[in-house]
Amino acid sequence: MLDAAELERYARHIVLREVGGPGQTKLKAARVLVIGAGGLGAPVLLYLAAAGVGTLGVIDDDTVSLSNLQRQVIFATEDIGSRKVDGAETAIARLNPHVRIETHMARLEADNALDLFAQYDIIADGSDNFATRYLVSDACYLAKKPLVTGAVGTFDGTLTTLRPHETRADGTRNPTYRCLFPEPPPPGTVPACAEAGILGALPGILGSMMALEVIREIVGFGEGLVGRLLMVDARSMRFETLDYAWDKDNPLSGERPTIKDLRGDR
């Protein structure tokens, strides 16, 4: 149930026919884990907290540096040197006291992913490297958890939603991350943010869209991004969508899967 303060706080949601009181109650009951409190994770956490998601988990093993503040808007100058999960907890508590925050000061690994994911309803991946993205997507498949995953480059970004543990109404399997990207790029071919740079507002755009997709998945309205990759080009302000489908040869959920656990190919 929503109390009087919550009814006023979320009034602009509640008047929406697609959300209403029932949708807001679903948000309050939801448990969402955000992977990373960086450029993408920061707006995801802020907008999900503002939206009234009842429990937000965040996992990150990093501390705040001065160079983070160009895009990681959940932190302030006085947070430099502190743990990112602590800064996120403080910001969320200040924004919305109705939201419970669970912090995990750790690096996501094969050893802890499944146990951690079991505690949440939906995962939002804002990690900044391919190894973690593949780990998260494989773990979500094995744990049967929906995943909203985003990525940003210097002037571009992508976003999709994965529910490969489910089938469509016609019986067709939903695709996995490995159906879209069968293999990560060779090491060294994609420069890190520190080397290539990144336009500061871009993660804010993609992170906000990730939050929107998580909200849509929880409440259940509109056409989501399962089987669709949203691509953003910040140079031309162009948005395009690419459809993709289940690949029978993918090693995770294909006809002859070779990945049976999180250690099989790592």
- For 15-43, what is the mean pLDDT? 97
Distances (CA, A) of 142 to 2, 43, 187: 34, 27, 26
pLDDT greater than 80 at residue 243: yes
Q: Order of strands, edge to edge, in the sheet holding 55-59?
A: 100-104, 55-59, 31-35, 122-125, 147-152, 156-162, 228-233, 238-243
User: Are the beta carbons of 174 and 15 closer than 8 angstroms?
Assistant: no
Mention the CATH class of domain 4-243. alpha beta
Average pLDDT value over all residues in the chain: 94
Query: In this prediction, what percent of the chain has a pLDDT beyond 70?
Result: 96
Helix axes 41-51, 201-219, angle to 10 degrees: 40
Query: What is the band of 263 on the pLDDT scale with cuts at 50, 70, 90?
Result: confident
Question: pLDDT tens for residues 79-101?
Answer: 999 999 999 999 999 999 999 99
Higher pLDDT, 92 or 183: 92
Report DSSP letters for 188-208, one per residue.
Answer: TSS--HHHH---THHHHHHHH
- Measured CA to CA, the distance from residue 67 to residue 80 in angstroms comes to 10
Question: pLDDT tens for residues 110-127?
Answer: 999 999 999 999 999 999
Query: In this prediction, what percent of the chain has a pLDDT beyond 90?
Result: 86
pLDDT greater than 70 at residue 264: no
Query: What is the band of 194 on the pLDDT scale with cuts at 50, 70, 90?
Result: low
* pLDDT score of 186: 76
